[in-house]
Amino acid sequence: MGNILHLPQYNLQIINFEKIYCDKFIKSFFDHCDQYKINNISLKNKDIKKLIYHNIIFNLCEEILHNKQREKIIIYFNTCLLPKTDLNKYIHEEELLMFFELLLRKVSKILPVKIFITSISFNYFNYSWKKNDAKGIEILYRIKAFSEKFNFERFTFQKIRMFSKKYGLTFLSNVYFDNIKSKQLLLR
């Protein structure tokens, strides 16, 4: 099954977080580890956390900024499963899932990025939706309700400025975030 579900009839494009995680995050994360010669890959390592924050936030924002579709973009995160990658050699899956869930919840509060967090897998949702199954329809309506209550105007970027200063995330600038906010506002 694909990692993107286009629903133009609802003005929605639902992107599986696993797409960003596997296609972009893992490569950029390990490239940065090599670049900075970091071998101790553990969530207890402050530098590793900074790299994860940087790479996740950057790749989420880039996914939105470079998306050519006209629908509202929703990132779909499954709290029960992450794909097996090289990161699992260093960090247990449960620890990664908990870390990413907390990080994505935080990101959704400090950035104008819609992240739908659920325990239901994207593949199951996609399959159920395409089969016109009640569970698929129910999840879609939860996503629509989540999308409609999301208010982009409330983002002043004060929280992300504090977050980026705390973790030394230098690429995060007001111009960068204004571009993301503008794109999201255009997709209403």
Could you report the per-residue pLDDT of 73-129, keeping only the tens digit for each? 999 999 999 999 999 999 999 999 999 999 999 999 888 889 999 999 999 999 999
Give me the pLDDT at residue 63, please: 93
Tokens of 42: 């553990």
- How many helices (H) and strands (E) the chain has is answered by 8, 4
Would you kindly state where each structural domain of the chain is located, as residue ranges? 4-186
How far is Cα 172 from Cα 71, in angstroms, rounded to an integer? 25
Rg of the chain taking only CA atoms, in angstroms: 17
Which residues have CB under 8 Å from 22's CB, separation 6+? 83, 85
Whether the pLDDT of residue 52 is over 60: the answer is: yes
Helix (H, G, I), strand (E, B) or coil at 94: helix
How far is Cα 67 from Cα 154, in angstroms, rounded to an integer? 23
Strand partners, 72: 12
Q: Are residues 23 and 81 in contact, defined by beta-carbon separation less than 8 angstroms?
A: no
Model confidence, pTM: 0.91
Whether the pLDDT of residue 29 is over 80: the answer is: yes
